[in-house]
Amino acid sequence: MALTDTAIRNAKPAEKPYKLTHGKGLYLLVNSTGRYWRLDYRFAGKRKTLALGVYPDVTLANARERRDDARKLLANGTDPSLVMTARKRATRQSAENNFEAVAREWYAKKLPTWAATTAKKVIRQLEKDIFPWLGNRPIKDIFAPELLDTLRRIESRGALELAHRVREYCGMVFRYAVATGRAERDPSRDLKGALSPVKTNHHPTVTDPKKIGELLRAINGYSGSFVTKCALQLAPLVFVRPGELRCAEWEEFDLDAAEWRIPGEKMKMRGKHIVPLSRQAVEILQATHLLTGSGRYVFPSVRTSARPMSENTVNAALRRMGYEKNEMTGHGFRSMASTLLHEQGWPHEAIERQLAHAERNKVSAAYNYAEHLLKRREMMEAWAEYLHGLAAGAKVVNIRKV
């Protein structure tokens, strides 16, 4: 006798499991843990049982459909349990190979090669702008139009540079998927020219000698935190990246040798970097050491010495001194030095090495941290004297030695 929905709903667990048959091998197994649909069949002379789901998630009508599908496979000489196993495997692989899973695996591989700030930025942007739309999609099934639609959500916010950067991140994820056999190609390559172009904006800076002198005098007269003032005074003398300055640790400095050695893991290009320290830079650091020398960081946070100063501290101080964000930033000290040192005729190679710009040859990059060091020491001393003269209001003549 065929089962009814009423009979199934009224079926209660007994001391022992029991079956309620429905016909053509389909039955409901009732036990203390629930009610389960099963199908008994024979294949290649052997009796087998196929699980069809759990009631009430799988209704009586659903169970009949699954039974009939299984019987059609049997009629064609196919074992339905093998088909079911293959489907489960495909579903599991699809979940393991969706975009988010592959992206997080790629991220874990790349993590040791990135600075902490870079790593945080990459995963935050993927989690915010990509995973909500593409995260659950099998990576092999994502094509250029779908990726473009997702990137245009970023573009529509006016964040053009971010849209291009996220496209690059996605491209790296797709290429990793290709390399690991989970995708056939990188669709981000097809989007070249599809996003609105980014207008290049150089970091705001001051390059007029008279205005540089005014800036330096404003820094010397800064009335805020003494530690912040020291960071502002040191910034134009060393012209490192803002993150490298604020995260400077005392153990990296040898003031007797007038040298700052920044570990590779802190550098954007992941190579260690030497900063020769001028007399003026050493004096600033000696004054700072009296206040923060017992701690880890040269410029600690105002809230706790266990962390470096905030990434906004230097820029906020510049705003307090009256410099708007389109006039001067912490990064602008690098542009200032690059422009003026080139104008003064210092060797391009020495300037670029001191700026720690990218080295195309990765092998040589591992060894060139001391490249042009003698010339760089000379250049940094001359640069400090030049700035000192500008701050004093003198008419300074370029003093590069030929």
Active-site residues, by number, are 241, 268, 331, 334, 357, 367
Distance CA 149, CA 144 (A): 9
Burial class (CB in 10 A: 0-12, 13-18, 19+), 304: exposed
* C-beta of residue 126 within 8 angstroms of C-beta of residue 133: no
Alpha-carbon Rg for the chain, nearest whole angstrom, is 33
Rounded Cα distance, 348 and 176, in Å:
36
Identify the residue whose tokens are 């797709």.
Answer: 174
**Lookup result for tokens 């400090």:** 384
Indicate the residue type of 259: E
Q: How many helices (H) and strands (E) does the chain have?
A: 17, 7
Tabulate helix, strand, coil % of the chain (nearest 5).
Answer: 55, 10, 35
Q: Helix 332-343 crosses helix 226-238 at what angle (to 10 degrees)? A: 30
The Cα–Cα gap between 303 and 134 comes to 39
What the block records as the tokens of 278 is 């001028």
The contacts of residue 192 (CB under 8 Å, 6+ apart) are none
DSSP single-letter state for residue 198: P
- Count of alpha carbons within 13 angstroms of residue 233, beta-carbon side: 27
**Angle at CA of residue 224, ends 221 and 230, nearest 5°:** 70
The rounded distance, in Å, linking the Cα atoms of 377 and 379 is: 5
- Other CB atoms within 10 A of residue 29 CB: 16
Closest CA to 264 of 349, 189, 365, 339: 365
Quote the crossing angle between the two packed helices 99-110 and 116-129, to the nearest 10°.
170
